[in-house]
Structure 1
Amino acid sequence: MTHLTIAVDRVVPDAYAAAPALVAKLRLAESTGAAVRAVAVRCQVRIEPQRRSYTADEEPGLIDLFGARERWSTTIHPFLWMHTSSVLPGFRGSCEADLPMPCTYDFEVVGSKYLHALAGGAVPLLFLFSGTVFTDGGNGFQVAPVPWDLEFRYSMPVAVWRESIDRHFPGAGWLRLDHEVIRRLSDYRSAHGLTSWDETLTRLLTVDAGAPR
């Protein structure tokens, strides 16, 4: 019977990903001496927002998620950030391995909205592992499940996530809009001779005598 543990040493930006992504640097250990041939690991990464405090500057960005600050004692709860998986290499004793963590800029995703609201500090993460462990057996491979209670808490610096996003959206971002809204924005831009989407939205946001121009 294998005895597997998994810890997260650190989380870093993936410098070679085609889209925003992080990499969790894992440390695996097997204490019975069995030769592990591979670990097919699945991981649910959750954010535990109740494990940190928030500044007044961060509060406006969190209202959509948790309501007014006076309600936070009852409305702030852990929530899912992502599912990820990988086939980790074989080892005996211990080893290090990478777990990919794909990210998104999309403001419609709860995790992204939360992360955009943070000015600094750390993101309290909980890694919940599952999957299958393949080891050498008397007549070939032996298969065992990753223990259901295998989990690890890690505080990821907000700056790590921002670095990953900035690699792909330096000084900019994007919004997902309905096709009809895009058409109306395009018509407005053309009608007013505006040269960019930034200029178009800035003009719409400008308030004159209490009404948008």
Structure 2
Amino acid sequence: MVDLRFKIEGAEAERFSVSPLLIFFLRVETELQRRVDSIMLNCQIRIDATRRAYSAVERERLGELFGAPERWSETLRSLLWAQVSIVVPRFEGETTVRLAAPCTYDFCVASAKYFYGVTDGEIPLTFLFSGSLFFKDEPGSLQIEQISWSTEANYRMPVELWREAMEMHYPNGVLLRLDAEAFDRLYRFKRRRGLLGFEEALATLLDTAEAET
């Protein structure tokens, strides 16, 4: 089996995309003494939540994911972020490619809850690779080898990088998804109170609830 090594050398928020993306710069190395024609690469990106410490504020914000802090020794676990696929073009020895990971403000998705809940520091990530490697042997015949599922790379991503990506697309805002019935009730409340926007309607409801509490 051809030995492949992967390393994440850095990351940045993509500025010119329709939706929020984080770009990871993936270095691929091989000891194969000939040209690699291409690699059809699959990558599963996981959040290694157990590999960092959390402040009291973060524990409160992450309660929906992991429960009460006193139970975190049992409930804290890794989370799936994304499954992405790319084609690594022809190279010899080593190359660097851009691996794009989608971001979302959909709080039905565990990764969005986690990224929003962590306030500072770094997020430990694991990249798990699979796929197919294409190259020619000495006689010139095409060879195909599978990439072992044990092939991986680790990276500690600054939390601010995710916030930067979201701020580019949703400046000073957060998306909130409601089902149709809840939206109709909120819209009806807004109209009846003569309120100008949905933020004002939500603020009125929250102020009332907090006053009653």
Give the equivalent residue in structure 2 for 1:7: 7
Give distance in 2, aligned partners of 1:23 and 1:208.
42
Supply the AA of the counterpart residue of 2:175.
Answer: W
Give the equivalent residue in structure 2 for 1:105: 105
Give the equivalent residue in structure 2 for 1:174: 175
Give the equivalent residue in structure 1 for 2:73: 73
Deviation at 1:3, TM superposition (A): 1.7
Aligned-pair identity in percent equals 36
SS state of the match for residue 57, structure 1?
Answer: helix
Runs of 4+, deviation exceeding 3 Å: 208-212
Aligned runs of 1:115-130 on 2, under 5 Å? 115-130=115-130
Between the two proteins, the alignment pairs up a number of residues equal to 212
Determine if contact 1:2/1:34 at 8 Å carries over to the other structure.
no
SS state of the match for residue 134, structure 1?
Answer: strand
1:143 aligns with 2:144: yes
Give the equivalent residue in structure 1 for 2:89: 89
Aligned runs of 1:160-171 on 2, under 5 Å? 160-171=161-172
Of 44-53 and 145-154, the range deviating more from structure 2: 145-154
Structure 2, unaligned runs of 5 or more: none
Give distance in 2, aligned partners of 1:93 and 1:53.
38
Deviation at 1:211, TM superposition (A): 3.3
TM-score using structure 2 length: 0.95
Supply the AA of the counterpart residue of 1:85.
Answer: S
TM-score using structure 1 length: 0.95
Give distance in 2, aligned partners of 1:102 and 1:136.
34
Supply the AA of the counterpart residue of 2:151.
Answer: L
Supply the AA of the counterpart residue of 2:171.
Answer: P
Give distance in 1, aligned partners of 2:32 and 2:179.
56
Spell out, residue by residue over 1:61-115, the C-alpha distance to the aligned partner (whole angstroms, 9 max, x if none): 1111111111111111112111111111110011111111111111110010011
Determine if contact 1:21/1:101 at 8 Å carries over to the other structure.
yes
**Larger helix fraction of residues:** 2
1:203 aligns with 2:204: yes
Give distance in 2, aligned partners of 1:76 and 1:59.
11
Structure 1, unaligned runs of 5 or more: none
- RMSD over aligned Cα, in angstroms? 1.5
Deviation at 1:139, TM superposition (A): 3.8
Supply the AA of the counterpart residue of 1:194.
Answer: L
SS state of the match for residue 91, structure 2?
Answer: strand
Supply the AA of the counterpart residue of 2:200.
Answer: E
**Larger strand fraction of residues:** 1
**Would the alpha carbon gap of residues 209 and 128 (structure 1) be closer, same or farther in structure 2, given more than 3 Å must change?**
closer
